Chain A
């Protein structure tokens, strides 16, 4: 399984989760875990997803999240989970 972390941050507004989740669903990307909080009006969400269902390369998946960034004015980073596993798990 190729797991990735998608972090979404920016000013809170309605429909952020829906917007990201819809995009992921369109690409057949399964969401494994979500944590979300609001800090001083700032929306912070971390999603762990499984990229294997998508049949798209990493760059393309990242590119298809661009409309969410533009529309919701959010900062969205996607990176492979391996880096967190390497750093924090033996």
Chain B
């Protein structure tokens, strides 16, 4: 029988420490919806999503009520649209947005292109349409994979993405560049990621699958409060134990959702995902380890320990772990990161170092509106290089704040939060970005 203390601990984690399931994401394969006529393709896409995801939101809400664990988002990820569109991709984008609204999900991801080695005609059409599509849709998220350890970095795509991010910011300037919050550039993108903006249902995925992302930085922070002054061995062990408990609930929710929907279980993503709410911050975990603020010397080491311990604890708690799995360090979505950036403790360069040891990359960072497209491409190239060489997923989701400069503030609302505009190194790199071509894959890509 479960003891009273254990029951109280679980209840405290949920009620006071912001433990929640961040998302149940339903991956849907759309390859069979392809058609030379974009309108027909859009119609098939709409119908397939409405049919497959009909019960998703209701099922999520039922599980939430019965198990007493908040499930913050219900989402859908689909096959990268560039793989199904044979003509103009825009009708498909609008159909996806309508379908997402119809079934009631919070986001739908997969307006995507995988072009780490090169672009198809469909990839090119999709890229060109991103600024317009993101300014005219509400729930649709877009991602582009520009590099991989196996194939190197597609610098043509990197160059283009700098310009697309600029244009998307300009076209959504009235909402502080919100379009860019729904657009992410990847290296080594994963096929079963349940988190936005980068979720898509990869070509190796089944017809459909349930992927679950857990959360709970607040729980880890509180657990560490009980081991003040102890050596790092104890810190690592405490994080592992906490991550195990969190992930077990993720696994339970995933299994339950899979059974009720009759859709196979895919993975549990072990990521620690913060929100702008106080007590739900990854930066505050780093501070609990003894740093005055995120960005202080030692931050990268603290994050490395956290990221590793989360994986070690979580991996034993689920029979399939996948997605991004690690600690997220978005700036605008984490109150501790926001405060550190506003105080000047956290710079873009320090964040870049942190992305070498964490789950993803430069995430939700507002940069000055006059940052050049080449500078954004340079940031993407640097991040892609880290991912390529270290065999990990990295990503860039920056938001050029139109008409604003370093120190100003942008506001996105909800889970996306708010952020101070961070300065970008002003040295020029136009000639570097203008070269194009491919940066070859590293030697360790040849592993056979």
- Write the residues of chain A forming the contact surface with B, with a CB cutoff of 8 angstroms: 5, 7, 33, 35, 46, 48, 58-59, 62, 77-89
- Write the residues of chain B forming the contact surface with A, with a CB cutoff of 8 angstroms: 1-2, 4, 6-7, 9-11, 62, 65-69, 245, 248-249, 251-252, 256
Q: Enumerate chain B residues within 8 angstroms of A84, measured Cβ to Cβ.
A: 2, 6-7, 10
Question: Is B252 a contact of A83 with CB atoms below 8 Å?
Answer: yes
Bound-state CA distance A89–B68 (Å) is 18
Q: Is the interface of B mostly helix, strand, loop or mixed?
A: helix
Bound-state CA distance A64–B68 (Å) is 17
Question: Is B245 a contact of A82 with CB atoms below 8 Å?
Answer: no
Tell me the minimal C-beta distance from A2 to chain B in angstroms.
9
A-B contact pairs, 23 of them (CB 8 A): A5-B7, A48-B1, A58-B62, A58-B65, A59-B65, A62-B65, A77-B11, A79-B66, A79-B69, A81-B2, A82-B67, A83-B10, A83-B67, A83-B68, A83-B252, A84-B7, A84-B10, A85-B2, A86-B251, A87-B248, A88-B2, A88-B6, A88-B10
Bound-state CA distance A83–B69 (Å) is 8
Tell me the minimal C-beta distance from B243 to chain A in angstroms.
12
Which residue of chain B has its CB nearest to the CB of A84? B2
Tell me the minimal C-beta distance from A56 to chain B in angstroms.
13
Known: A62-B65, A87-B6, A88-B245. 12 other contacts (CB 8 A): A5-B7, A7-B7, A35-B4, A46-B4, A46-B7, A48-B1, A59-B62, A77-B68, A79-B69, A82-B67, A83-B69, A88-B2
Which residue of chain A has its CB nearest to the CB of B19? A87
Bound-state CA distance A43–B6 (Å) is 19
Tell me the minimal C-beta distance from B1 to chain A in angstroms.
7
Question: Is B2 a contact of A86 with CB atoms below 8 Å?
Answer: no
Q: Enumerate chain B residues within 8 angstroms of A85, measured Cβ to Cβ.
A: 2
Bound-state CA distance A58–B249 (Å) is 19
Q: Is the interface of A mostly helix, strand, loop or mixed?
A: mixed
Bound-state CA distance A58–B63 (Å) is 10
Q: Enumerate chain B residues within 8 angstroms of A35, measured Cβ to Cβ.
A: 4
A58 contact from B1, B66, B256, Cβ within 8 A:
B66
B67 contact from A46, A59, A62, A80, Cβ within 8 A:
A80
Q: Enumerate chain A residues within 8 angstroms of B4, measured Cβ to Cβ.
A: 35, 46
Bound-state CA distance A85–B248 (Å) is 9
Q: Enumerate chain A residues within 8 angstroms of B11, measured Cβ to Cβ.
A: 7, 77
Q: Enumerate chain A residues within 8 angstroms of B9, measured Cβ to Cβ.
A: 88
Bound-state CA distance A77–B64 (Å) is 13
Bound-state CA distance A54–B66 (Å) is 15
Q: Enumerate chain A residues within 8 angstroms of B69, measured Cβ to Cβ.
A: 79, 83
Question: Is A89 a contact of B2 with CB atoms below 8 Å?
Answer: yes
Which residue of chain B has its CB nearest to the CB of A89? B2
Bound-state CA distance A47–B132 (Å) is 56
Bound-state CA distance A83–B6 (Å) is 11
Which residue of chain B has its CB nearest to the CB of A58? B66
Q: Enumerate chain B residues within 8 angstroms of A46, measured Cβ to Cβ.
A: 4, 7
Bound-state CA distance A85–B249 (Å) is 9
Question: Is B6 a contact of A86 with CB atoms below 8 Å?
Answer: no
In the A-B complex, list the 10 residue pairs whose CB atoms are closest, starting with the nearest: A79-B68, A86-B252, A88-B6, A86-B248, A84-B2, A87-B245, A83-B67, A58-B66, A80-B66, A80-B67
